[in-house]
């Protein structure tokens, strides 16, 4: 998922839970309601960091994404159960050969400046992502997401500057926008649900291209009001919103980096929802009132470790398999996560048309780990070099790393742990410097292409997503065919073969799928937490459906 998922990528319909809790209990000092009635419905929304940008074409992180999704609309979007539904396009038609996508732009949808959205705006927004020359002329950088549009006919050559124009987009008639692809690309419609492909008003962008990232104008349910950097962002309800009546009046995104500070703010009645800090789940489960406020699902959100498959000792799959069997993942989930995770047995999570349900993953088996090490030439770990496990600075990450360190020691492997700030960690992992490192991913779109191709196909090595540098010709061929095949049964067959190869090669040390368990105030109704939400960001949760009932 590019950096959106590393910034921090299942079970959908059966596990999705709309947050519609019971009336508020009497306050005992915990989860307290405001003592004074509010004249406006103000939703106080915690953010763990200040967004880098609010320009959709540059979104690569979950913090920016969660704000932008409230301001803008795309052609299509995901529903809470992760189905693709109409947004600015009220309908669409895909040709039988899968190469032509025809979108019918709805009438009456308006930007926040009052102008109606047209097919010309769609053309401009998509072309802007690919127009690297125009971006540089405006003093900006080209879009980090341009490659997502490379399946469009002529798009890659235009982006790279080897063609002055391209024929992939057209407006054949009023309020009709057509996209022509070079070849079939099965997840293309899901890709267009990403916030990068939001529709922007040309006249506002071109008045101040770079400034648009600080004062965005969209067509969404909330209107940008102001941004006090590193403190808060305020959005106000779009009372002329074309889609539905927005029941909230104001969203205040409050930048609160520390998870315990967010938690205490929630308990004091100063936030409408929050994530649950490390070590607090047992306390919450013991409190009947607090435990009733917990909502969420197992998400398409991975936490595991990656090996650099190009460099010794991890260029040997026997070593990678040994590490996988040496770690007791169920113990991590039970004792460290306090149950906030599901065992990862596959390289793609449940929640889509494809899931490798029969996979056993890598069961905890120290004897098998020792046997793999001996087979690789390290009996009892003799001669195995000390390796460094690189992680971020979160307390939870350190706690898990310590258990992994101890369990690898028990099979004869010495591991030292190194923590870096997030920016430094990302730079080093993308550059291929690290041998053994944290690997996280939140789904951009619920399709195996977003995992098996983006994260493991050899041409995606480095910044595009394959940070383990895994390379396997047969695997590459299968996932390339998978993205260029529209028949789901055939895609299932291709991805099943590809994932079997990945399981045998073990480029990752599989750990767990995160649960996005979230505390929600009892008076908040209509908050539907989805399997593509990370907490506290709740990127895909539609806030325009939320209301207060005190």
Task: DSSP for 243-295, please give it.
Answer: SS-----EEEEEE---HHHHHHHHHTT--SEEE--TT-HHHHHT-HHHHTTEE
Predicted TM-score of the model (pTM): 0.86
pLDDT in tens, the chain (550 residues): 444 344 333 333 333 333 333 333 333 333 333 434 456 899 999 999 999 999 999 998 889 999 999 999 999 999 999 999 999 999 999 999 999 999 999 999 999 999 999 999 999 999 999 999 999 999 999 998 999 999 999 999 999 999 999 999 999 999 999 999 999 999 999 999 999 999 999 999 999 999 999 999 999 999 999 999 999 999 999 999 999 999 999 999 999 999 999 999 999 999 999 999 988 999 999 999 999 999 999 999 999 999 999 999 999 999 999 999 999 999 999 999 999 999 999 999 998 999 999 999 999 999 999 999 999 999 999 999 999 999 998 889 999 999 999 999 999 999 999 998 877 888 899 899 999 999 999 999 999 999 999 999 999 998 888 999 999 999 999 999 999 999 999 999 999 999 999 999 999 999 999 999 999 999 999 999 999 999 999 999 999 999 999 7
Please give the C-alpha separations between residue 181 and each of 290, 354, 428, 445, in angstroms, as whole numbers.
Answer: 51, 24, 35, 19
73-210, superfamily in CATH? Dipeptide-binding Protein; Domain 1 (3.90.76.10)
Residues contacting residue 70 through CB under 8 Å, at least 6 positions apart: 220, 221, 222, 235, 251, 543, 544
Q: Which CATH number fits domain 15-71+220-297+517-550: 3.90.850.10, 3.40.1830.10, 3.40.50.20, 3.40.190.10?
A: 3.40.190.10
Which phi-psi region, left, alpha or beta, contains residue 426 (left: φ > 0; alpha: ψ -120 to 50)?
alpha
In degrees, to the nearest 5, what angle opens at C-alpha 480 toward C-alphas 476 and 481?
A: 120
Domain(s) of CATH 3.40.190.10: residues in the chain: 15-71+220-297+517-550
Domain(s) of CATH 3.10.105.10: residues in the chain: 298-515
Q: Where are the alpha helices (DSSP H) in 61-154?
A: 62-71, 119-130, 132-137
Domain 298-515 has CATH 3.10.105.10: yes
Nearest to 236 by CA among 143, 112, 145: 112
Kindly report the backbone phi and psi dihedral angles of residue 425, in degrees, each rounded to the nearest multiple of 5, phi listed first: -60, -45
Distance linking the first and last C-alpha atoms of the chain = 39
Q: Is 36 exposed, middle or buried (0-12, 13-18, 19+ CB in 10 A)?
A: exposed
Kindly report the backbone phi and psi dihedral angles of residue 253, in degrees, each rounded to the nearest multiple of 5, phi listed first: -80, 110
């Amino acid at each position: 998922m590019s950096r959106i998922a590393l910034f921090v990528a299942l079970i959908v319909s059966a596990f999705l839970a709309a947050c519609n809790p019971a009336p508020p209990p009497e306050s005992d000092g915990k989860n307290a309601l405001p003592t004074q009635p509010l004249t406006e419905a103000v939703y106080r929304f915690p953010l763990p960091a200040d967004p880098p940008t609010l320009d959709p074409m540059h979104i690569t992180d979950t913090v920016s994404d969660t704000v932008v999704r409230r301001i803008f609309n795309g052609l299509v979007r995901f529903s809470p159960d992760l189905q693709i539904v109409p947004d600015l396009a009220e309908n669409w038609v895909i040709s039988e050969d899968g190469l032509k996508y025809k979108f019918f732009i709805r009438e009456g949808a308006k930007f926040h400046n009052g102008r109606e959205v047209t097919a010309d705006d769609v053309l401009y927004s998509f072309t802007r992502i690919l127009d690297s020359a125009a971006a540089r002329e405006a003093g900006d950088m080209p879009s980090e997401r341009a490659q997502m549009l490379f399946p469009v006919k002529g798009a890659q050559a235009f982006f790279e500057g080897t063609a002055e124009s391209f024929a992939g987009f057209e407006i054949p008639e009023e309020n009709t926008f057509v996209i022509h692809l070079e070849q079939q690309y099965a997840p293309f419609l899901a890709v267009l649900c990403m916030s990068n492909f939001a529709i922007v008003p040309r006249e506002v962008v071109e008045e101040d291209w770079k400034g648009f990232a600080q004062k965005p104008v969209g067509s969404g349910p909330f209107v940008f009001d102001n941004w006090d950097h590193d403190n808060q962002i305020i959005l106000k309800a779009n009372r002329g919103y074309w889609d539905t009546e927005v029941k909230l009046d104001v969203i205040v995104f409050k930048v609160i980096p520390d998870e315990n500070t967010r938690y205490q703010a929630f308990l004091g009645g100063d936030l409408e929802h929050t994530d649950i800090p490390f070590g607090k789940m047992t306390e919450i489960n013991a409190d009947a009132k607090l435990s009733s406020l917990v909502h969420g699902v197992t998400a398409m959100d991975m936490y595991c470790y990656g090996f650099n498959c190009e460099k010794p000792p991890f260029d040997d799959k026997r070593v990678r398999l040994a590490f996988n069997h040496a770690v007791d993942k169920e113990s991590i989930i039970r004792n460290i996560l306090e149950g906030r995770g599901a065992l990862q047995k596959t390289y793609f999570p449940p929640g889509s048309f494809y899931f490798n349900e029969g996979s056993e993953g890598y069961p905890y088996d120290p004897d098998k780990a020792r046997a793999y090490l001996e087979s690789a030439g390290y009996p009892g770990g003799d001669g195995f070099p000390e390796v460094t496990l690189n992680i971020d600075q979160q307390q939870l990450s350190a706690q898990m790393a310590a258990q992994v360190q101890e369990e690898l020691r028990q099979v004869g492997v010495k591991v030292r742990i190194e923590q870096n700030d997030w920016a430094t960690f990302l730079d080093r992992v993308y550059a291929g410097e690290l041998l053994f490192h944290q690997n996280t991913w939140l789904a951009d779109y619920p399709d195996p292409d977003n995992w098996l191709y983006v994260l493991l196909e050899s041409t995606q090595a480095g910044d595009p997503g394959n940070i383990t540098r895994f390379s396997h010709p047969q695997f590459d061929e299968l996932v390339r065919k998978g993205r260029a095949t529209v028949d789901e049964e055939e895609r299932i067959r291709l991805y099943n073969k590809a994932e079997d190869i990945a399981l045998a090669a073990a480029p990752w040390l599989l750990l767990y799928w995160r649960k996005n368990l979230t505390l929600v105030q009892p008076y908040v109704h209509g908050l539907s937490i989805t399997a593509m939400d990370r907490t506290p960001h709740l990127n895909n949760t539609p806030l325009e459906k939320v209301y207060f009932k005190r």
